[in-house]
Chain A
Amino acid sequence: MDRETWLLWMLADSQLPTGGFVASAGLEAAVQGGLVRESAAEDDIDSFVGFISDSAHNQARFALPICSRVHDLAALHLMPLAEAGDGSSGNGGDDEAVAAKVLEDIVRIDGYHHTMLASNQVAMRASIAQGGGLLSVFNRGYALSAFMGSRHGQACVGIARQLQRLARLGEVRAHWATVFGFVCVALGISCAHMQQLFMFQFVRQVFSAAIRLNLVGPLRAQMLSCDMQRLVSSLLERHAHRRVELDSIEDLFGESAVYTEPVLELYQGMHDRLYSRIFNS
């Protein structure tokens, strides 16, 4: 078994302690607001399937282009270090320059993603919480593992520490999509696999919220989850090539990263007005 597969399974594990279990991606508000019917458990699951399909599409158009771009940029600079191998006579100064460049790219894209979330406090809060969660899993977990001792690994560990330091200072937010893209490069996960994992995680999180909201039973969730493979696969086929563009004003006025579900966005914004809630978002 190769290392990438093993790490993919670890990241896909629902026990990955990023705090994702407190987020419902707007499902709880959609249920209480009546957009998704509570009777979904018995006879009619259309509104729930509609919710998860539409929000997965939104995720593919809104956040996926962010983590794909982070992955591209980080891999571009960091992969030469991995290819050069551990035995290569790495010049410490060069490695530092590479790390500084990658950090700069991450900060820039993260800042832009932050402006995309600026009109949705609920989504912003969830993204920052989970991004911070994953960053500390990396720093306190993966960063200390033996295989991160490589030249590439050490450069990544340096970047992650800097990122956490900047996040504590409030100079960067470390959103979920940006941290996810970087951590995948650090762990040697390919862009295609990262994209699959990113979408899988999103869908899994919504299902897990649906089960806890008693919207679907755990067995039914398994059945529905099987069927989601086709949808996610078609989403990736159509949108995996997208990268957020942020270099010119044309880019800012462009369609590289957009949201596609105004009503879901609206309902998610209602979250803090729910009478009682079990999720944070």
Chain B
Amino acid sequence: MPAPGEGSISCQVIAGRLYQTHSSAYPLKIISPQAHPDHPQSAFKPCINYILSYGGGIVHGDRIHINAHAGKGCALIMLTQGSTKAYRHRKRPPHNTQIVANNMADESFQTLIIEIDSGALVCLLPDPVTCFRDARYNQRQAVQMQPGSSLVLLDWMTSGRMSRGERWDFQKYFSVNLITHHPTTSSPSSFPSDSVGSVGSVGSIGPVGSVGSVVLRDALLLQKSNAGDSGGFSRRLENVDAFAFILVLGPAVTCVAEVFREEHKRERVRPFRSNGSFRAVMESVKWSVSEVDQEGVLGVAVRACSPSTEELKAWIKRRLELLQNIIGQSAWSMYFNA
């Protein structure tokens, strides 16, 4: 039995057929709807997984930990159903009995360890994280990319429960994305689980790799500070309600990276006129594209923000459209036409 909040996903193609397994334990649930491999030109068998949690969100003290592995020929698509809600911090013992007295016990953690074999693709396309008032949320994602593997990673968040007037009102949001290469062990498909769920431990990082194998680390911390003015994160985000960080890496998604590169070359930033209002400045999606070229891991890193989550999603959708040809229409529709 996996520990509470723990799950694993594995997929591989053997003799032209997709084989997948997954397991999960409360409060985590993983389901895999059938995808129709309807794009004959695609080199990949799509394998779709929804990462769900009972209650529709993450309660403080929750430790979600998922290991995922995509074998050659697979396009592992990881989705959520609706935004991941990080509920407010409450002074109540969490249901996870392994939690001991510790500052971190007050916070919620979602850890995702992904291994991508050569010739495989992983698309991590969740709905945005929404942190409720006073939430303390930590999201940690490590992706080990074998040479010749590919990744589309979308990591995005909203300002909060806007309908309730909650904007940037959480205590803490910490998101770290690590890209590593070179496997350091020879057991890339095992999912050791001894330490998963223990407080303060990252859990079984297993085969993700050593410190020296990191090629990219993106760590964003938004934390309310007691010190008042400086260090408060809400001022700069005043006119933003959704922020996205996107990585498009590897040979299978070069065409998608190229879409961003082309736009980066073509679209100049128009000098802003000082008589316009500040609100007007933020009306459209603001974005920037950075080339990634780290020890053979090639692609782009994209940042985009908008005052509207829907507008940002539409912006992302238009730029990822070529993914349809790679992961197939049905997998694409599950995310973008839902």
A residues touching B (Cβ–Cβ < 8 Å)? Answer: 29, 31-35, 37-39, 47, 50, 53-54, 56-57, 61, 108, 111-112, 115-116, 118-122, 231, 234-235, 238, 246-253, 255, 257-270, 272-275
Contacts and interface: CB of A to CB of B under 8 A. Distances in A.
A112 to B, nearest CB: 7
Nearest to A268: B288
A269 B289 contact: yes
Given A35-B281, A37-B278, A238-B231, A252 B217 contact: yes
Interface in B205-247: 205, 208, 211-212, 214-223, 225, 227, 229-231, 233, 235-237, 240, 243, 245, 247
Interface residues of B, number: 59
Given A119-B216, A250-B201, A275-B269, A260 B288 contact: no
Contact of A263 (B231, B240, B290): B240
Q: Which 10 A-B pairs have the closest CB atoms?
A: A269-B288, A34-B272, A119-B301, A34-B281, A258-B221, A118-B216, A266-B303, A249-B205, A38-B274, A258-B219
B276 A119 contact: no
A47 B236 CA distance: 9
Given A118-B215, A274-B269, 9 more contacts: A32-B271, A33-B269, A37-B274, A112-B217, A235-B231, A248-B211, A258-B174, A266-B243, A267-B286
Nearest to A53: B230
25 contacts: A29-B269, A35-B281, A39-B274, A50-B235, A53-B230, A112-B214, A115-B214, A115-B215, A115-B217, A118-B292, A121-B291, A234-B227, A250-B200, A253-B176, A255-B174, A257-B219, A258-B221, A260-B220, A260-B222, A261-B233, A262-B237, A262-B243, A266-B287, A266-B288, A269-B289
A253 B142 contact: yes
B150 to A, nearest CB: 17
B305 interface: yes
A35 B230 CA distance: 18
Contacts of B268: 273-275
B218 A119 contact: yes
B202 interface: yes
A3 to B, nearest CB: 33
Contacts of B254: none
Chain B residues touching A, majority SS? strand
A199 to B, nearest CB: 12
B264 A273 contact: yes
Contacts of B270: 275
A72 B301 CA distance: 32
Interface string B178-221: 10000000000000000000001110010010011011111111
A31 to B, nearest CB: 8
B41 to A, nearest CB: 31
A231 B230 contact: yes
A154 B181 CA distance: 38
Contacts of B278: 34, 37, 47
Contacts of B289: 269
A29 B176 CA distance: 25
B161 interface: no
A106 to B, nearest CB: 15
Nearest to B300: A119
B219 A116 contact: yes
Given A118-B216, A249-B205, A255-B219, A235 B290 contact: no
B304 interface: yes
Contacts of B142: 249, 252-253
Given A54-B230, A120-B301, A269-B288, A249 B202 contact: yes
B297 to A, nearest CB: 9
A48 to B, nearest CB: 12
B140 A253 contact: yes
Contacts of A261: 233, 236
B310 interface: no
B81 interface: no
A46 to B, nearest CB: 10
A118 B107 CA distance: 29
Contacts of A121: 290-291
B220 A115 contact: no
Interface string B118-155: 00000000000000000000001010000000000000
B159 to A, nearest CB: 12
A273 B288 contact: yes
Contacts of B231: 57, 235, 238, 260
Nearest to A260: B221
B267 interface: yes
A264 B236 contact: yes
Nearest to A237: B227
Contacts of B269: 29, 32-33, 270, 273-275
B294 interface: yes
Contacts of B229: 53, 231
A122 B289 CA distance: 10
A56 B278 CA distance: 22
B65 to A, nearest CB: 12
A238 B237 contact: no
A261 B288 CA distance: 14
Contacts of A120: 290, 301
B221 A61 contact: yes
Contacts of B215: 115, 118
